[in-house]
Amino acid sequence: MTGSLSSAQALAASFDGFLGDPMAGGTPYSYVEIVAGDEASEFPANARGLIEEWGFHRLLVPVEQGGRLRTLEDLAHVCRVLSRRNAAVAVTYGSALLAANPVWLWGSAEQKRALADELLAGGLACFGVSEADHGSDLQATEATLTKEGDGLRLTGVKWPVGNATRARFVTVLARTGEFDLSLALVDKQRLPDGAWSCRPFVRTLGLRGHDLSGVEFHEAPLPGDALIGPSGIGVTQVLKTLQITRTAIAALSLGTMDAVLRMGLGYSMGRRLYGDKIFAIPIIRHQLVQEHVNLFIGECTALPISRALVLAPERLSLWSAVAKYLVPVIAEETVHSVGVVMGARSYLREGVASGAFQKLQRDHAIASVFEGTTHVNLQWIAEQLPAVVARAGEPDDAARDLVRRLFDQGEDTPVWSPDGRRLRLANGGLDEISAAWPLAVRRTESLVRGRRPPAAGADLLDLCAALGELRDALHTRVRGTTPWNSSSVRALADANAHCVHHAAASCLLMWLGNRDRLGGAFADGGWLVLCLQRLLRRLSVEAEVDERYAAELGERLERGADRGEWVTLTSLAAG
């Protein structure tokens, strides 16, 4: 590789090496053990102990509290490695992070210390927000927190909740007034007998072994300082907290894509029919090439947003919803397509990769559901879309610098200093990534006219022109739709189109921001042509796959599989 790894990538590479090859067997993170655990609806023996030996659990705690969570980017890269093996374990720690983030963002020094000590010792936390009858309707919350002397009394049922049975600490959303909801940190170990009880584990399609259950509080006495931050801002706190975990969920999808693509490619290279390996069959080769293109799109979309928690947390209200909607949807398509390549083998609970494909498929099905379904996230985007379109002007110097820092994967960001005030419920129309599209196109035009134009330059300009016309048409349509109804079918379709244009801008900006550092096939831009063509097809435009670039990528996949090397965006720089 021409360019060096960022610190986040190096951390993930260390973790990947520590866990070993999941195809090889012999560890809790080998597919044979993972599938056996799934069959028994439990984690493989020592699955948590092994990664805590490496220090994974310390990534749940910010550096300022004694942990090793420097940035969300670090956690995203490492979670991608874990999710490639066992998404159920990743979700267990993700549930703990979801519960912890309100404490890091708004908690008192005492709350932060108590929770940090528990997590650093290998304990868990859970986020008690959901209620069976209310789902995402937070304002309908029935759990109550009432004052009693110098303390509080908590009554209510939270269900379903990840880690509810195994966790010591519960971050609870409850009603503190007729119209007020608040968050409180509950230490179950400090409650008297009978003050709480667990609901049974919920049987699920995937994520077997993950503690999905519930907790019920019966007039549970809490100290007066149990509230996390001021009273009455609980809904705001929940919505801001979800911006962080929505971004992290994209890493789960990238890890799943990594896994199934390696399985599908390995299978197609080893399986022989009609006198040759099935990778030689044009449709098989085409599908695997196109699903690797999906992986590139997912990487370009998700990785810069993971850097935004440090660089631009004010933008996460929009960007986290884009990542949470688009990346899992793309990953679902990739899982399905690779399943078609593997045929009956994808359905078996044994055989290829010890039968892990069907587990990955079931586990990933949750990605587009929790932290807000696809429809919830699309509506969140649709609510902000008119303001984004209205402010889609030429970026100023500060915006250009932000975009550069978001997309330069070789430059480390500062360490995260949690502050709930920096997160916003809406962007106010500011969206530097999508607004940078015209500037990125002009930079591409300059490169194509330069002394050493990229190999794919002319094709890139044609695709940019086509996407630019569609972007202009989208903006005209949004401006002309009055009154704007963010829950309408039309508005959700436009929100989807905005996500596609965001991904297109991200792909172009990722290439521009890293081509000099990475070089190789990354700099040539053939992969980018394939990405933009695929994104055009997501906008219902007939864009034929350029067979020149598809053939090049297919040859690279084949060479890599022969050497046991797997293709991701960064690896395109390898010779």
Domain with 207 in it: what CATH number?
2.40.110.10
Would the pLDDT of 2 be above 50? Answer: no
- For 259: left if phi > 0, alpha if psi spans -120 to 50, otherwise beta; the answer is alpha
Neighbours of 542 (CB within 10 A): 6
Give the side-chain half-sphere CA count within 13 A for 435. 23
Contacts of residue 461, defined as CB under 8 A and 6 or more positions apart, other chains included, come to: 441, 444, 445, 448
CA 440 to mean position of chain CA atoms? 25
Note whether 66 and 203 are same-domain residues: no
Would the pLDDT of 277 be above 90? Answer: yes
Q: List the structure tokens of 219.
A: 């007039």
**Where residue 394 falls among pLDDT bands split at 50, 70, 90?**
confident
Residue 467 lies in a domain: yes
Would the pLDDT of 1 be above 70? Answer: no
Query: Residue 494 has what pLDDT?
Result: 98
**Where residue 136 falls among pLDDT bands split at 50, 70, 90?**
confident
From 120, 142, 158, the end of a domain falls on 120
Would the pLDDT of 365 be above 70? Answer: yes
Query: Residue 574 has what pLDDT?
Result: 66
Residue 152 lies in a domain: yes
Q: How far is Cα 521 from Cα 3, in angstroms, rounded to an integer? A: 13
Residue 527 lies in a domain: yes
Mean pLDDT for the stretch of residues 242-247? 96
Note whether 35 and 173 are same-domain residues: no
Query: Residue 25 has what pLDDT?
Result: 85
Note whether 325 and 444 are same-domain residues: yes
Question: pTM above 0.85?
Answer: yes
Amino acid of residue 87? A
From 180, 195, 228, the end of a domain falls on 228
pLDDT above 70 coverage of the chain, percent: 99
Note whether 246 and 223 are same-domain residues: no
Query: Residue 371 has what pLDDT?
Result: 80
**Where residue 182 falls among pLDDT bands split at 50, 70, 90?**
very high
What CATH number is given to the structural domain containing 373? Answer: 1.20.140.10
From 78, 100, 120, the end of a domain falls on 120
CA distances from 374 to 236, 356, 369 (A): 20, 26, 7
Q: Which helix (H) or strand (E) holds 289?
A: helix 282-311
Note whether 132 and 111 are same-domain residues: no
Higher pLDDT, residue 573 or 362: 362
Residue 2 lies in a domain: no
Tens digit of each residue's pLDDT (9 = 90 or more) over 27-67:
999 999 999 999 999 999 999 999 999 999 999 999 999 99
Query: Residue 372 has what pLDDT?
Result: 81
Note whether 17 and 163 are same-domain residues: no
Would the pLDDT of 523 be above 80? Answer: yes
Note whether 198 and 242 are same-domain residues: no
Domain total of the chain: 3
Query: Residue 564 has what pLDDT?
Result: 85
Nearest CA-CA partner of 62 in 513, 474, 420, 303 = 420
C-beta of residue 492 within 8 angstroms of C-beta of residue 382: yes
Residue 1 lies in a domain: no
Query: Residue 188 has what pLDDT?
Result: 98
Query: Residue 3 has what pLDDT?
Result: 57
What CATH number is given to the structural domain containing 18? Answer: 1.10.540.10
C-beta of residue 492 within 8 angstroms of C-beta of residue 379: yes
Mean pLDDT over the full length of the chain:
96
For residue 160, cis peptide bond before it (omega within 30 degrees of 0): yes
Mean pLDDT for the stretch of residues 422-451? 96
The domain in which residue 167 lies consists of 125-228
Nearest CA-CA partner of 503 in 515, 491, 511, 492 = 511
Would the pLDDT of 77 be above 50? Answer: yes
Note whether 394 and 502 are same-domain residues: yes
Note whether 180 and 262 are same-domain residues: no
Residue 372 lies in a domain: yes
Query: Residue 571 has what pLDDT?
Result: 86
Note whether 53 and 137 are same-domain residues: no
